[in-house]
Structure 1
């Protein structure tokens, strides 16, 4: 296919990304001017958490595919002496999909392994500040770097509809490479949700540890 098509799609995605940039200011606005955007911030949290929840469902499906395909690989190899490249690639792709699509939900649910030995000693307020500052200083820049790095290579891969380098492999290597920017976008969404929660907790708009649940009752005029 003509790579120019995918360059055009990429250009529109860049415009969409630029239009989304003001949303990343909402946690800072909520922190500096309490009460001004609290209701909007809570709706953003619900939407972002639902978005990462959808990705988690896809990660769970990938995990199921991984288990089943790996079981088939083992049975074929050790019981019948057979091996298929395309089946091994399914295992690899499913494994990648599992953790790259599920990482955002793990961030949302605070399920990532933490190595910061000082964080628990700062108290609730200190932890919220760490979440807010760390998200802006580390998570957002790294994810933006992942999105912008390799843009030309990804466009070329889509233009060629790049497949496996093996003759009996799967013709979907271009989709596998797309997992990297998808992972970055999901992490940006989850990070924005984390920053919003931290800002609202610091201003008292959210009680400690509480996350707005979709469909919950609330006073929209007061938030």
Structure 2
């Protein structure tokens, strides 16, 4: 398993570096959006290029940071039943989901998006809007983003298998801090305790981990 763990660390390193870089695009897109809004309101001047740049930057944030979000276990989970199961059972469900859903879907989209980008690149496709931007750079984000998500999925799969074999820590544990949902749940419990009427059947995320 040493080779696979080394591969997992490499994939995590790539996604971490990309994710930490893409984070700064959030600031840029806010500045671009604010500047465009101010110029439009004060000078009654608008630019399709600036508007499309906002969309491009948002697409870059969403696609390029998907792998990093998955790596940090910060993606949205619609978890109704699995959270009540033992951790090892949860990990087995995670492995099933990665193998039969995540990786096939990502590989399919990656494969189909390559000719989509290539045709746009060969034609040097431009926006149909007056003064708009070229199209192929934003289309390139699709295969790159899903490739990074494939790397994150493979890394997660390796760590899940390693956990079941007792070779690595829990891959579903959050690396640091608490999510907004966890903070909200703890705040509700705290407020209920202050009111002297803590709701029955509700436990904090920390207590859930202790139960497991």
TM-score bucket (shorter structure): 0.7 to 0.9
Counterpart of 1:42 in structure 2 is 5
Root-mean-square deviation (CA, aligned residues, Å) is: 1.8
| Structure 1: 5+ residue stretches without partners | 1-37, 214-223
In 1, the alpha carbon distance for the partners of 2:119 and 2:172 equals 44
Counterpart of 2:48 in structure 1 is 85
In 2, the alpha carbon distance for the partners of 1:114 and 1:153 equals 30
Cα shift readout 1:50-72 (whole Å, capped 9, x = no counterpart) = 11112203321321221110011
SS in 1 for 2:92: helix
- Within 5 Å, give how 1:71-220 maps onto structure 2: 71-171=34-134, 173-209=135-171
In 2, the alpha carbon distance for the partners of 1:68 and 1:136 equals 40
Q: Return the TM-score normalized by structure 1.
A: 0.73
In 2, the alpha carbon distance for the partners of 1:105 and 1:70 equals 25
Counterpart of 1:216 in structure 2 is none
| Structure 2: 5+ residue stretches without partners | 176-212
Cα shift readout 1:168-201 (whole Å, capped 9, x = no counterpart) = 1122x10111111111101100000110110000
**How many residues are treated as equivalent by the alignment?**
174
Identify which of structures 1 and 2 has the higher relative contact order when contacts are C-alpha pairs closer than 8 Å and 6+ apart: 1
Of the three residues 9, 15, 29, the one matched with 1:66 is: 29
In 1, the alpha carbon distance for the partners of 2:5 and 2:111 equals 29
SS in 2 for 1:97: helix
